[in-house]
Amino acid sequence: MMTIFPSHFIQYKSAILGASIATILMITGCATSSLLDSPSHVTNTSTKQILSEDQIVAFGRPAQSLPNMPNATMVIVGNKNSYVLTQGGTEMVTLLTNLTPKNIQVQNDMSFYVPNNDGYFQGNMQLSYAKLKDEFKRADYQFFLQNGGQDCTTASDARIAAQRFCFQVPVKGAIYPQVNNLALIQSKYRPLSKPYTVSFYTQSQRNDVSYDGKTGVQKLVLLPFALAFDVVTLPFQLLDSVVR
């Protein structure tokens, strides 16, 4: 015997079934979206990787124009390589040649970023200039204003009636081979009991990639057209004035 249900009952059951299916689809869709958007599925993490460290010998200028580097105005002379500033070098030379050398201190932490490890780097050079307040002249303060000097007098400075100004110069540059006249430059300055370094780093993905036969170790790349050159040292030399 066949049971016949009223039409309104059939419509009611159909509505319930349709709502159930829609709910299931919505929940499934939300779960799928949540799964796709979940940060736990992002496996690429960026880490700081030191490419190279070098002991600093002196600051200088290229003795001759460098090919492909018309704006090369200053060089950080290292034992391994030469680091030519193509931006910010003019400002650094202005500071180092116009301020009294014995009152200049360069920050020891010189770390530069190499985005693509293609021979080019960027970062900041930081130095400070301090002496007794009564030794400053109006022209000194005018120079600080023109060159971005900021008062950074410390408590130690204040105790001896001194004043300090800090400078931060954004720089960009290129990595060249060791200068030709390195031995001559080294012979002019006494060796240090503690080396002062410049370091270069990049941001890399945390993957076990092998470079040069060593897992996770990558070498600093020099410019493909870079040639060694002579350098003329600046009156100020880093070896005697790095902040310890």
Interior/surface letters 66-91, b for 16+ CB within 10 angstroms, e for the rest: beebeebbbbbbbeebbbbbbebbeb
- Closest to 143 (Cα-Cα) out of 155, 161, 129, 127: 129
- Per-chain mean pLDDT for the chain: 79
Picking from 31-40, 60-69, 233-242, which range would have the lowest pLDDT averaged per residue? 31-40
CA 186-190-191 angle, to 5 degrees, is: 80
pLDDT recorded at residue 240: 53
pLDDT digit string, tens, across residues 103-154:
888 876 789 999 999 999 999 999 999 999 999 999 999 999 999 999 999 9
- Which pLDDT tens digit goes with each residue over 147-181? 999 999 999 999 999 999 999 999 999 999 999 99
d(CA 209, CA 172): 28
Q: Phi/psi of residue 90, each to 5°?
A: -60, -45
Give the pLDDT score at 157: 95
Residue ranges per domain, the chain? 46-238
pLDDT of 206 > 60? The answer is no
Q: Which residue has the tokens 């300055």?
A: 189
Q: Measured between alpha carbons, how far is 2 from 46 in angstroms, rounded to an integer?
A: 70
